[in-house]
Amino acid sequence: MAQRGDPPRLRQYVAARARLVGSGLGVGFLLGSLGMAGWTLYTGDARSSEATVFALGALVFGFGLLGWSGSILAGRGIEAMQEHMDTRSNWTERNSRRAMARLCGGGGGIMVGTSVVAALF
């Protein structure tokens, strides 16, 4: 049971994950906004620019989601194999999941940023 002055564990848990995904989301939003605006200025066609940049964001999101689930499914096996083979690698399941969660946030941010800029055009 938590003591009276201790912060709730759930709040800490959610805050850490929100910072992780939120940082990727923020960077992705910026990249999506700039990508949409830049590609529209380059091609002159806002609709095709939106489709292209949104699709790239969906690709990043999908890669992150697939990598995240793969890290969960095979992570311990890969760690055990690396330990058995003595590869001296710093790869861990936890770090892989964190990286893939950040990619998911980035891809989602690209899609949202693209949609916001497309609505303005």
C-alpha 74/C-alpha 60 separation (Å) is 21
Over residues 55-96, the pLDDT tens digits come to: 999 999 999 999 999 888 888 888 888 878 888 777 788 888
pTM for the structure as a whole: 0.81
Give the residue, 38 or 78, on which the prediction is more confident.
Answer: 38
Residue 48 C-alpha from the chain's centroid: 24
C-alpha 16/C-alpha 97 separation (Å) is 13
Contact 103, 58 (CB under 8 A): no
Predicted confidence band of residue 15 (pLDDT cuts 50, 70, 90): confident
